[in-house]
Structure 1
Amino acid sequence: MFSKVWKKIQQGDFSPIYLLVGTEHYFFDETVRRIKESLNKDGETDILYFDLDEVPVQHVIEEADTVPFFTDRKLIIAKNASFLKATEKGKEKIDHDLKAFESWVQHPSETAITIFIAPYEKLDERKKVTKLMKDKALLLEAKPLDGNDLVVWVKSTVANEQKVMTDEAVGRLIDTVGQDLVQLQSEIHKMATYVGEQQEITKSDVELLMTRTLEQDAFQLLNAYLRGDTTTALTVYHDLLRQKEEPIMLTALLASQIRLMSNVRYLQKKGYHAQAIAKQLKVNPYRVKLIVESRQKVGEDRLLDVLHRLASADYQLKTSSGKRERILELFLMNRL
């Protein structure tokens, strides 16, 4: 759907109203960028921004109906169209004049392109204004990509960088980053720049250049601790301290990782596969994959014992006036 709309935009074929719905912000940003680019072919375009959590929608329609001075059309971007989703009565932030808006939607201005961004999983289909917008506006649903669709998108983005990526490298990239298209695009551009004249981006390139996350370091630290590798655990811990990470925050992160491991093991016993577990727990699939594929199977009692000891370390960190770095260090050195 997006590719067809983007092609029309490139040709200068615009809709007066766009409604972008969903949680994948890459599609919002890319659609707005392409409209700006196409409009600017004929000179600079007036661009106005509104946050509908801060101003009523009638401000948007007033601006849309005001004829631009120096251009044929102006571009209006109205984000956070929360009046299209379910809202508890009495908790609306802004008093939107929906009657006026509904009338305007049926006869929008010919001198403005207005984009309404609703960054929500779903809208309230019962509302008259929602039904009207879905009928009159050009609706684009920005849903996260997964499975083969995500692989195809990655390869297309790599091709735009004039590169190719091996299937192994694509899998490693997606496993590590997850489904965030903005972050994936950033990592792909970084890798394409790094390999220079080299045509292919390999799995080794991905592993070399991938930005390590704090969660990955915490997982490495915890795994080293659980298998009794004190040297590696302390090395990772001291590296994190040099990066100015706080022991209290690291303790909380380790506890969170323990709970994740416990939940993953539980869902595994229920017959869930890794992708389904990641979706159920709403975490990066790569984190789940590492736990599932780990050869080191830690029992529930052991995990609970470690969680209890982390709670004790957390209490000491929050009540001690001494050198706090030493408290988590002692925890890592004393494996029971």
Structure 2
Amino acid sequence: MAQKKAHEVDGWLRRPDPDVRIVLIYGPDRGLVSERAKAFVAKTGLDADDPFSSVRLDASEVDATPGRLSDEAGTVPMFSDRRLIWIKGAAAHKQLADEVKALAASPPKDSIILIEAGDLKKGAGLRATVENASGAMALPCYADEGRSIDGVIDEILGRDKLTIGLEARQALRANLGGDRLATRSEIEKLALYCHGAGEVSLEDVGAMTGDVSSLSLDDAVDAVLSGNADAFETAFARLVSSGTNPYLVLAAAMRQFQALSVMRNEMDKGGKQAGAVVASARPPVFFTRRKLVESALQRWNAAALARALDRLQAAVLQTRQRADLAVPSSRQALIALLVESARAARR
């Protein structure tokens, strides 16, 4: 099979097979797809900006012009020994898949075809064609996790002669991983902020990373969990005034209560303490919120969490039925949960 597992991709890209003429790089992490495509191009030794040795196409162009890809692949390069054909935006394009299938059966001698695609399911036409062809290679790209995130952190911070301690690294990792370009952007920003300092501290990470809108939503939800009315009113008012749809606050609260429900079930069935459950939670609870989540688990039992989720679901339905009442109905539902949390803390 002409494919690599996710953890094998970087190794293959460091030493690509010279006999491979068709490379498909695909996956939900578009940033990682783009980064690896550039890495592959660099290994070919071809200049992607030289019109005599490369051509860039959009997948929709290939689909709209039957035979275009075959013609480009058959063009003899004028000033280089090979020619790069770089196709972007591939998805469920039947014409592209058909032409790649024909080229895979008789690989071009003078061309290298590089295809960037989104998340292709197993068995999808283009992916299946490349995976089952000789002289081709399919390389998957999934969201960064664990070791791969550490690798990017070490690469960027090491380049700027910066070190980072364990606690600061854990805090940084908790804010990364959704998309490789976003991950790099966050670390680059942190490295610039800490330039010349020698070491990245926990305070530096807190000051420079994380999504502001996400943190604002967390502020509102955390105020509900802790029963802090003043903090909730401040956070909720700030979100509404900035144009945030109140549904997003309800959705954030639902995600948190669902996570609490899973952890509470683990406590009840496994006889574990709240601290142990929070410490082993997956995805991990951000370190600054662990005490808050532990307290919430002690305040809310399984039945109360189920009622809270029912209330939030009813509020979501109401915001859809009466958009003009979205703000007051969302606020009322969240305040009710806040009051229940505050009462539980006093018991």
- Structure-2-length-normalised TM-score: 0.72
> Are 2:26 and 2:117, in contact at CA under 8 Å, matched by a contact in 1?
yes
8 Å contact from structure 2 (residues 26, 120) kept in 1: yes
What residue in structure 2 maps to residue 191 of structure 1?
190
5+ residue gaps, structure 1: 84-92, 279-283
Percent identity, aligned pairs only, is: 19
Contact 1:169 1:203 in 2 (8 A): yes
Distance in 2, Cα, partners of 1:275 & 1:144: 23
One-letter code aligned to 2:46:
L
> Residue 240 of structure 1 aligns with which residue?
239
Aligned twin of 1:16:
21
Conserved 8 A contact 1:277-1:288: no
Give the drift of 1:228: 1.7
- Provide the residue aligned with 1:307 in structure 2: 309
Contact 2:25–2:117 (Cα < 8 Å) also in 1: yes
**Superimposed CA distance per residue, residues 270-302 of structure 1 (whole angstroms, 9 cap, x where no aligned partner):** 669779864xxxxx5447995795332122222
Letter in structure 2 aligned against 1:29: S
Instruction: Note the C-alpha offset of 1:121.
Output: 6.9
Aligned to 2:3: none
Alignment of 1:271-310 (within 5 A): 278=282, 285-286=284-285, 290=289, 294-297=294-297, 298-310=300-312
Letter in 2 for 1:199: G
Mapped pair 1:55 → 2:63: yes
In the TM superposition, what are the counterparts of 1:105-144 in structure 2 within 5 Å?
A: 105-120=104-119, 123-124=122-123, 129-133=129-133, 135-144=134-143
- SS of corresponding position for 1:114: strand
What is the CA RMSD across the aligned residues, in angstroms?
4.1
Amino acid at match of 2:73: A
Which of 48, 69, 75 aligns to 1:66? It is: 75
Q: Do the aligned partners of residues 129 and 43 (structure 1) sit closer, same or farther apart at CA in structure 2, a change above 3 Å counting? A: closer
The superposition leaves residues 249-274 of structure 1 with CA deviations (integer Å, 9 ceiling, x where unpaired) of: 32343234323332343356566977
Q: Which amino acid aligns with 2:256?
A: Q
Distance apart, 1:225 and its partner CA: 1.6
Contact 1:19 1:117 in 2 (8 A): yes
State the TM-score, normalizing by the size of structure 1. 0.74
Partner Cα separation in structure 1 for residue 225 and residue 242 of structure 2: 23
Name the SS for the 1:294 alignment partner: helix
Residues matched between the structures, number: 318
CA offsets 1:2-37 (integer angstroms, 9 cap, x no match): 55555457xxx7853223244444442123223555
Q: Retained in 2: the 8 A contact 1:102–1:132? A: no
Q: Distance in 2 between matches of 1:42 and 1:55?
A: 24
1:39 corresponds to: 46
Code of the aligned partner of 1:94: K
Q: Which residue of 1 aligns with 2:84?
A: 75
Contact 1:53 1:80 in 2 (8 A): no
Structure 1 position 68, deviation (Å): 4.5
In 1, the alpha carbon distance for the partners of 2:232 and 2:112 equals 56
Alignment of structure 1 residues 247-266 onto 2, 5 Å:
247-266=246-265
Once residues 96 and 48 of structure 2 are traced to their aligned partners in structure 1, the CA distance between those partners, rounded to angstroms, is: 35
Q: State the shift of 1:125 in Å.
A: 10
Higher mean C-alpha displacement, 299-308 vs 117-126: 117-126
Distance 2:82 2:100 in 1: 20
User: Cα distance, 1:95 vs. partner?
Assistant: 4.9
